[in-house]
């Protein structure tokens, strides 16, 4: 008998077929209030779980007594209780490499769009204001040859540093717990403490995961240390920034602007003050959202689940210590 699994995301047809070849699949398009009772019911027999989003916490895991592996279609796994999974011998698989370049493109895109005010000026044209040559009121600021400060220098930080250094001639500063000699050597990146990075960067770019250490790492005190001309970019996780503090800093001119792909609450509430500010570029969590990369992530997650349930895990495991036991 094929192992039972629960799928909670719509997959491309060929990948769905691949799952069906290996498993008996109960599928949901996504997790919602409507689908949640049936999802819980299906979890009771499930050995595997695959999808993205949702909160997979201890209460939910308690309702999945047969679960052996979960495969998230994402690099981030802050929505999983990893300690509880490890305690229950449930493998957690993720997609750490396939989206790196695409997310770095998103970061670079947000830097350019925010600094050059592209969405704001697009709206300005559409509203019929382009009747004369452009005045200084609508000028942006340069990106090339400025200083970018990267928080986190993992795969995505490295791919951003590569673009910034080689493509835009930028000076690269970064803050991590331990220096990254490869970044220093390849991109002449300089490791520095957070305060130095905040004080010296024209662009502060967040590529960090959400953990108890990174939660609200950028709050009022940190925003006060940034240049008045600085631009803050976040494509990591929303709660790394204290969003209320950021809104105040954008309103009172503490920093110049922000480009945000992630938020404390997603979807962004329609009454968020961020929507009212002209000096913010908003993106609806598009970091990895290209056809090619989303396909690659789904394919990786399907292969990860097959490996996890077959006991052939070689990579992409968040808690590999239990793979050995399997």
Burial class (CB in 10 A: 0-12, 13-18, 19+), 257: buried
Residue 240 sits in the site that holds ligand 8YV (CB under 6 A): no
Residue holding tokens 């979807």?
Answer: 267
Q: Known catalytic residue: 266?
A: yes
Among 222, 288, 304, 319, binds ligand 8YV (CB under 6 A): 288
CA distance 73 to 128: 42
CB 111 within 8 A of CB 233: yes
Based on the residue annotation, tell me whether 237 is a catalytic residue of this protein: yes
Q: Does 76 interact with ligand 8YV (rule: CB under 6 A)?
A: yes
The catalytically annotated residue of 163, 237, 243, 299 is: 237
Binding mask 24-63 for ligand 8YV (x = CB under 6 A): ----------------------------xx----------
Question: Under a CB-based contact definition with an 8 Å cutoff, are residues 218 and 232 in contact?
Answer: yes
Of the candidate residues 25, 50, 74, 268, the single one contacting ligand 8YV (CB under 6 A): 74
Q: If binding is defined by CB under 6 A, does position 316 make contact with ligand 8YV?
A: no
Q: Which is nearer to ligand 8YV, 186 or 294 (CB)?
A: 294
67 binds ligand 8YV (CB under 6 A): no
Query: Which among 85, 94, 80 is positioned nearest to 64, based on CA atoms?
Result: 85
Residue number with the shortest CB distance to ligand 8YV? 76
User: Binding to ligand 8YV (CB under 6 A): which residues in 155-214?
Assistant: none
SS3 at position 104: helix
Residue keyed to tokens 């689940």: 305
Output 71 or 288, the one with its CB closest to ligand 8YV. Answer: 288
| Contact residue for ligand 8YV among 60, 99, 198, 232 (CB under 6 A) | 99
Give the count of beta carbons closer than 10 Å to the beta carbon of residue 126: 9
Name the one range near ligand 8YV by CB under 6 A: 70-78, 138-146, 148-156, 276-284.
70-78
234 near ligand 8YV, judged by CB under 6 A: no
CA angle 144, 145, 147 (to 5 degrees): 105
Rule CB under 6 A: which residues touch ligand 8YV? Answer: 52-53, 73-76, 99, 287-288
């Amino acid at each position: 008998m094929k192992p039972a699994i629960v799928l909670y995301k719509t997959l491309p047809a060929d990948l769905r077929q691949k799952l069906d070849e290996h498993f008996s699949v109960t599928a949901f398009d996504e997790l919602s209030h409507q689908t949640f009772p049936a999802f819980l019911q299906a979890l009771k027999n499930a050995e595997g779980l695959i999808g993205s989003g949702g909160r997979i916490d201890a209460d939910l895991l308690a309702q999945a007594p047969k679960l052996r592996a979960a495969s998230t279609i994402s690099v981030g796994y802050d929505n999983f209780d990893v300690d509880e999974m490890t305690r229950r011998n449930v493998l957690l698989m993720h997609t750490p490499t396939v989206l790196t370049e695409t997310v770095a493109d998103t970061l670079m895109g947000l830097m350019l769009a925010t600094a050059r005010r592209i969405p704001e000026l697009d709206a300005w044209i559409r509203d019929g204001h382009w009747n004369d040559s452009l005045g200084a009121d609508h000028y942006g600021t340069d990106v090339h040859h400025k200083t970018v400060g990267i928080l986190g220098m993992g795969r995505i930080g490295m791919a951003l540093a590569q673009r910034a250094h080689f493509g835009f001639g930028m000076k690269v500063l970064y803050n991590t717990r331990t220096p990254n000699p490869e970044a220093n050597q390849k991109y002449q990146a300089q490791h520095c403490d957070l305060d130095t990075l905040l004080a010296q960067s024209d662009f502060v770019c967040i590529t960090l995961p959400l953990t108890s250490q990174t939660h609200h790492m950028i709050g009022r005190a940190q925003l006060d240390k940034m240049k008045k001309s600085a631009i803050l970019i976040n494509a990591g996780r929303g709660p790394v920034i204290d969003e209320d503090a950021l809104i105040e800093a954008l309103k009172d001119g503490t920093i110049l602007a922000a480009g945000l792909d992630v938020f404390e609450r997603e979807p962004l509430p329609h009454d968020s003050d961020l929507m009212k500010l002209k000096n913010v570029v908003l993106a609806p969590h598009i970091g990895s959202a290209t056809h090619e990369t989303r396909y690659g992530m789904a394919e990786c997650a399907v292969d990860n689940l097959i490996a996890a349930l077959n006991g052939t895990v070689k990579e992409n495991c968040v808690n590999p210590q239990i793979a050995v036991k399997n």
